[in-house]
Amino acid sequence: MHELSVVSSIVKTAEQEAQKINGKKVLEIYLEIGKLSGVEMDSFHFVWPQCITNSVLENAKLFIDEPSGKAKCVECETEFEVEKLYDSCPKCNSPFKEILVGKELKIKKLIIK
């Protein structure tokens, strides 16, 4: 399960950041997980409670921003919404594109006490 390793990595990073400032716990965590990141959100929410037990995140409020996919066609330079990584340009039908938004997977902010 890919999401287990993602959440474990988030917990590890949060613990390292809290330790840097001698923090005891994280009150709030803000994540950005794009819709094209490959993270299955149902699985993410399933493993989250198990992974944060006995960590600095145990009682933290979780906030997740899920930006939709957006791409720019390499051939005609049209910007368009992308639901799946293999979506083609709606204007010229080219499969070649640059993903502009939607693949993010990052911790945006931690509120540490």
Q: Where are the domains of the chain?
A: 2-112
The answer to whether residue 72 scores a pLDDT higher than 90 is yes
Confidence grade of residue 110 (pLDDT, cut at 50, 70, 90): very high
pLDDT of residue 64: 98
CATH of 2-112, one of 3.30.2320.80, 3.90.226.10, 3.30.70.20, 3.90.170.10: 3.30.2320.80
Checking if the pLDDT of 89 tops 80, the result is yes
What is the pTM assigned to this prediction? 0.89
Contacts of residue 111, defined as CB under 8 A and 6 or more positions apart, other chains included, come to 26, 27, 28, 29
What would the pLDDT profile of 31-64 be if each residue is shown by its tens digit?
Answer: 999 999 999 999 999 999 999 999 999 999 999 9
